[in-house]
Amino acid sequence: MTECNPKQDETDLEGQPSTGDASTIPNATAIPEAVSVDIYDQIYNLRGTDAEYIQQLASLVDGKMRAVAAHGGTADSLRVAVLSALNIADELLSLRARYDALAGGMDRSEDAMRTRAGTLSEMLDELFEDRRAG
């Protein structure tokens, strides 16, 4: 997703010049479209291949900024933006830690199931061998 500004070159979200190379764009077969979003009473013209997703992102950021402003009572939009970014980063890191814990638990469960399946397979092999011998 990039911001469109007729006075500036097109840039991506990290502020790097957009190459326009389709191989660097996710879902390269889709043509980026312009989407206007309102975040904290500022209009941003963005480009991306999924307008609905861009609107969702903008809505999340706008909501977070408004919540931070209401809680902190500050009118400085830069301060509100930075505090909102910190809140979103905190949520991201918390979710990553939760995901890692869940994924680790699944790995342990898979290992336990493999071990149990191996044991059961050995038991079945022994049972069949005993029946053939007996």
- 66 and 81, same domain (yes or no): no
Q: What is the pLDDT of residue 6?
A: 44
Q: What is the pLDDT of residue 17?
A: 47
Domain end among 23, 54, 73: 73
**More confident site: 78 or 3:** 78
Per-residue pLDDT reduced to its tens digit, 81-90 = 999 999 999 9
Domain end among 53, 73, 93: 73
pTM of the model: 0.59
Number of domains in the chain: 2
- 52 and 1, same domain (yes or no): yes
- Measure the CA–CA gap between 81 and 126, rounded to whole angstroms: 67
- 82 and 31, same domain (yes or no): no
- 50 and 93, same domain (yes or no): no
Whether residue 67 has pLDDT greater than 70? yes
- 94 and 131, same domain (yes or no): yes
- 93 and 52, same domain (yes or no): no
Query: Where residue 11 falls among pLDDT bands split at 50, 70, 90?
Result: very low
Print the domain residue range for 47. 1-73
**More confident site: 17 or 43:** 43
Domain end among 73, 106, 124: 73
- 89 and 52, same domain (yes or no): no
